[in-house]
Amino acid sequence: MPENNKQYANTIKGKTGIRRIFNAYGYSLAGLKAACSESAFRQLLWLNGILIVLVFVLDFGILTRMVLIMASFLSWIVELFNTAIEAAVDHTSLAKHPLAKRAKDTASAAQLLTMLLLAILWVLALWRDYLVNWF
């Protein structure tokens, strides 16, 4: 590692106590700001924001609400990882490479599974609390 990178790493990693907590908070806000520049993340913000409002509008029990809110947050978290992986791969090289494609595709598949989980949980919750009486 070049000397200037070591010095930078030491100034960042050398923080302890409350200073480290404030730095971590700042890095987290910077990460959320960066994610908001991605259209996929903004779409998920809208979708899950609407779903979370619906959780409280509809007459679900507390456990159903908890599960649906957790699923929404999980989709945000997976999208953050997906965005991070894409950025790291693109930083390494923009050249087409099978491993780069595998990393990006796998992260995208994780998001697909998370969205499938979200949809299944919503269908089950709506079925149990609203639709089962119609049939």
Answer yes or no: is 105 a known binding residue: yes
* 129 CB-near residues (< 8 Å, 6+ apart): 58, 59, 60, 61, 64
108 is in an annotated binding site: yes
Residue 125 marked ligand-binding: yes
Residue 78, judged by CB atoms within 10 A of its CB (0-12, 13-18, 19+), counts as buried
| Residue 86 is assigned to a ligand binding site | yes
**3 is known as an active-site residue:** no
* CA–CA dist 64, 83 (Å, integer): 29
List 35, 79, 82, 114, catalytic entry: 79
Q: Give dist(CA 123, CA 130) in Å, integer.
A: 10
135 closest CA partner among 64, 124, 127: 127
Annotated binding residue at 51?
A: no
Is 65 annotated in some ligand binding site?
yes
The annotation places the binding site at 20, 27, 38, 65, 79, 86, 104-105, 108, 122-127
Catalytic residues: 79
The annotation places the binding site for a divalent metal cation at 38, 86
The annotation places the binding site for ATP at 20, 27, 38, 86, 104-105
The annotation places the binding site for substrate at 20, 65, 79, 108, 122-127
